[in-house]
Chains A and B, each alone.
Chain A
Amino acid sequence: MEYLLQFFSDNLLMIYVLVLAIFLGYELISNVPTVLHTPLMSGANAISGVVIIGAILLIRQAEAGDYLALSLGTLGIILGTINVVGGHAVTDRMLEMFKRKKGN
């Protein structure tokens, strides 16, 4: 319990950011037309690939002989990149078609 309270006070700013970000995410989305639900979900999914930053940090911190960190870190980067690149590309493909339509 003491540890948790310590963690709380050490990361107070981080926790404020977290709370505000929750409300921001809510506000950003609450007025979306149905048409955009799928692209929006897909775009948000691509953003959740931000976890790749963790994989990069992990592998950069790893020593040369730490095979567990190196292998899982590389795997993490591959998976995270697929999520990011694939996610944004698929979203763009969905939205491309809306765009072409609107041009007419």
Chain B
Amino acid sequence: MIHQLVELGYLIAVILFIIGLKQLSSPRTARKGNLLAATGMGIAILVTLILPLESGANNYLLIALGIAIGSVIGWIAARKVKMTAMPQMVSIFNGLGGACAVAISLVELVGYQATFESGGAVFAGVHLTALMAMFVGGVAFTGSMLAYGKLEGLIDDRKVRIPQPTVVNLVLLLSILAGIGYKLAMPAEPLTWVIAIMVVSLIYGITFVIPIGGADMPVVISLLNAFTGVAAALAGLVYDNHVMLVGGILVGSSGTILTVLMCEAMNRSLLNVIIGGFGSTGKAAAQSGDQVAKEITLMDAAILLSYSNSVIIVPGYGMAVAQAQKVCHELEMLLEDKGVSVRYAIHPVAGRMPGHMNVLLAEADVSYDKLLDLDDANKALADADVVIIVGANDVVNPSAKTDPGSPIYGMPILDVLQAKHTIVLKRSMSPGYAGIQNPLFFHEKNRMLFGDAKDSLSKLVSEIKTLG
């Protein structure tokens, strides 16, 4: 009776996951979708607590303790994190899920080992699944942690590198698979094999992410998220648990397609992202030593903006770092009062994650209908008088269109040079996150406004006010 109740609970949880994911893909229902998925998770956890088991001491106290500690840490972390650090946070959470998969599969494998050593047998399928869960979970764990380190700026792409990453990764991957194959064929081999497979998997997670440039981290986090889903699903096979299997696979497949969508937005294949990253190659960098970027004064910029008909703001990661979204909105309202049409051009990969800019601008109360996606923006840019580029770089780099030698060649960009004037707000002349020089800065239509984006924009706002 209780058993059927548990299965029913799992079924409801899975349905809630599916509806939740569906609703998460529409702006109107997204928040409800997240709550539905969370409810599903709550139901799944509750019924797991009452699932009748053949053996075991239940250890409810430890479970309660673990859930209490985890909830407090998770809740506080989620509440305290700054909007700019969201991608890193998601990466950490994801890594912990992977670590959880490693922990449980390790315990299961130690259990199987005892069975093998006392002459018993475990289904090779189950054994394989547990080993794979440990492998995939391990890669998700260390990979996500490294992605966090790169996004947080703790690890410098240019310094932390390995020679011949493709070869190293291939060797590691093959030795993990060979190790799993060997352990399956010779289950009585000592536990050292299992530990070795785990350690190499953890190392592989690191070497997998090391060669990938910081600009590609969103893609990597999305991919590692899919890995955690797959690890959960594999663990679900080990425990013959439907909610783990279906929930994990849903994340695995939706995470994979989301990864592919992100790659498509950059006009690159997933393989291309994984093998050679931006920012880590940097071979086509800077041939512009003798070129000089021209500066613009605040007053000139204020006048230029005040007497325009149409202004388009292109936000990038720099806006997030400087927390300049509110002052962007202020500038927008001020100019609108003067009859200037102001809109925002959002590149799909602006910032550190797709949708990053939308979240930040929504936070600053910028109206939805002012946000233009790539295609609409490129149409609107042709009629724009001034484009203000706030901390964006690679997404407006014209060499993606003109220079076949550039590492970002072929990536769709916001073609800001269609507009009459462009103003780039930037702290210095250093290249963007991808480590690629940007010829836009030296273009005759462009002027630079150096300084912190928030600071420059506030000064610009007061300058425009003084114009009356």
Contact = CB atoms under 8 A, between A and B. Distances in A.
A54 B266 CA distance: 37
Contacts of B94: 45, 48, 83
Interface in B362-390: 362-363, 365-368, 371, 373
Given A36-B24, A54-B241, A72-B103, A77 B365 contact: no
A28 B254 contact: yes
A26 B355 contact: no
In the complex, which range does the number of interface residues on chain B fall in? 35 or more
Interface in A45-104: 45-64, 68-70, 72-102, 104
Nearest to A42: B90
Nearest to A39: B30
B354 to A, nearest CB: 4
B363 A92 contact: no
Given A36-B24, A85-B74, A101-B368, A51 B56 contact: no
B59 A62 contact: yes
B153 to A, nearest CB: 19
A63 B56 contact: yes
Given A41-B353, A45-B225, A85-B74, A61 B96 contact: no
Given A47-B37, A50-B247, A72-B103, A37 B261 contact: yes
A25 B226 CA distance: 11
Nearest to B229: A48
B320 to A, nearest CB: 12
A40 B197 CA distance: 32
Contacts of B104: 51, 54-55, 58, 72-73, 76
A17 B240 CA distance: 12
A48 to B, nearest CB: 4
The 5 closest A-B pairs by CB, nearest first: A81-B70, A7-B125, A25-B253, A77-B66, A86-B74
Contacts of B2: none
Contact of B107 (A21, A72, A78): A72
B57 A64 contact: yes
B362 A86 contact: no
Nearest to B356: A38
B1 interface: no
A76 B253 contact: no
A75 B141 CA distance: 14
A74 B61 CA distance: 10
B70 A40 contact: no
Given A7-B125, A28-B25, A45-B90, A84 B34 contact: no
Interface stretch (B44-52, B415-423, B426-434): B44-52
Contacts of B44: 50, 53
A83 B100 contact: yes
A64 to B, nearest CB: 5
B69 A18 contact: no
A90 B237 CA distance: 29
Nearest to A58: B104
A91 B90 CA distance: 9
Contact of A46 (B38, B128, B346): B38
A72 B66 CA distance: 11
A12 interface: no
B249 A22 contact: yes
Interface of B: 17-18, 20-22, 24-28, 30-31, 33-35, 37-38, 41, 44-45, 48-49, 51, 53, 55-59, 62-63, 65-67, 69-71, 73-75, 77-79, 81, 86-87, 89-90, 93-94, 96-97, 99-101, 103-104, 106-108, 110-111, 123-126, 128, 137, 221-222, 225, 228-229, 231-233, 235-258, 261-262, 265, 346, 348, 353-356, 358-359, 362-363, 365-368, 371, 373
A54 B118 CA distance: 25
B263 to A, nearest CB: 12
Contacts of A77: 62-63, 66-67, 70, 100
A45 B53 contact: no
Given A41-B225, A54-B238, A59-B62, A47 B96 contact: no
B241 A39 contact: no
B99 A79 contact: yes
A8 B225 contact: no
B346 A97 contact: no
A25 B249 contact: yes
A43 B103 contact: no
Nearest to A55: B104
A72 to B, nearest CB: 4
B59 A60 contact: yes
A31 B22 CA distance: 10
A79 B97 CA distance: 6
B75 A94 contact: no
Nearest to B81: A90
Contact of A58 (B27, B69, B107, B256): B107
